[in-house]
Amino acid sequence: MQISKVLSVCAMSATMVFGASNLVQKVKDNGIEAIPTSQLELLKLIDDPKDPITDAKVELGKKLYFDPRMSKSSLISCNTCHNLGLGGADGIAAAIGHGWTANPAHLNSPTVYNSAFFKAQFWDGRSPHLADQAQGPVQAGPEMAAPPKLVEQRINSIPEYVNEFKFAYGDNVKISFEKITSTIAIFEKTLITPSRFDDFMNGNDNALSKAEKEGLEVFMDKGCAACHNGVALGGTMQPFEVAGKYKFASLGGFAGDKNGMVKTPTLRNITETAPYYHNGAIWTLKEAIQDMGSTQLGITINDAEAAKIETFLKALKGRKPVITYPELPESTAKTPKPDAKL
């Protein structure tokens, strides 16, 4: 999987160029940004010069992402909860992990697509970037439940993985837990999905229909862009229940970080990532839109307005990079055995 192939999907956004419109400027004034068409500009947003994206790292990270041996039971991979065929999420209200355990706070699995654009990771924002975030679910008891030492033993016991790490990082690489998880994060950085909305913002005035443009106007006029902005149209920490009580707040009891802040979910590919909200209590976009109006904005969004906003949100469904399921390397006699016990 070459980086040029992974990122070239973004270049499709520049097929038709028209003059900037008033609507485009209004979107920018609301703090919303498009995914760049230039690979160089995109890399400025997602790449780390200290650990740059390379084809070898991406391929290795992809294998690790899909490898269930990253979990204690050898049954759960990153893709289990962040399924690339299901919009990067799992389609259930609360994540299910080790021992068929539901997330104790009834937290919903957020999409992994476009997560490289998020300013904060996890619902409580405790991780600043993907490389740090990738360590959490692997170790968490209700998720993959694998201690770092076990992960290191598993990966280092497989000669093909050892050789791939050397190819990606050099012969002197130490295959540590941090190196393993940061390699997964490098693969995740390539999961970018430019949409027709980006095409419109990058110059193709015909990329959005009249109804979608109208929905975009309503989206901004109602104040939705106050939280859903940036390249991700989300991904930042924001106060929750600003204007009213969330009707499903008691489900799971999650109250955000110590300041009551909650990470705003991305709206990209939102039609693919139901159920909604941090605890997955709402299953339709219409209800999610209207509840956000009352909970966050203190306004009533009527059915007609919600329908217009939903029409716009559908235009945020993006073009996914083509991911071929990898053939994973064989375990050896030294590979620690699966352990599904709680």
DSSP state of 104: T
Residue 98 annotated as binding site: yes
Other Cβ atoms within 10 Å of 328 Cβ, number: 16
Residue 190 makes CB contacts below 8 A (sequence gap 6+) with: 1, 3, 6, 7, 53, 58, 321
- Please confirm, yes or no, whether 143 is among the known catalytic residues: yes
CA distance 308 to 218: 7
CA distance 124 to 331: 36
Q: Which two tokens stand for residue 216?
A: 């975009």
Measured CA to CA in angstroms, residue 102 lies from 45, 92, 111, 265, 322 at distances of: 34, 10, 18, 21, 31
Residue 129 annotated as binding site: no
CA distance 320 to 6: 9
Pick the catalytic residue from 143, 152, 188, 310. 143
CA distance 69 to 67: 5
Residue 106 annotated as binding site: no
Residue 278 annotated as binding site: no
Residue 12 makes CB contacts below 8 A (sequence gap 6+) with: 194, 199, 319
Phi, psi of 262 (to 5 degrees): -130, 140
Helix (H) or strand (E) holding 166: helix 159-169
Residue 10 annotated as binding site: no
Closest CA to 187 of 109, 119, 88, 282: 88
Amino acid at 128: P
Q: Are 301 and 290 within 8 A, CB to CB?
A: yes
The catalytic residues are 143
Q: Residues comprising the binding site for heme c?
A: 78, 81-82, 98, 224, 227-228, 292
Q: Residues comprising the binding site?
A: 78, 81-82, 98, 224, 227-228, 292
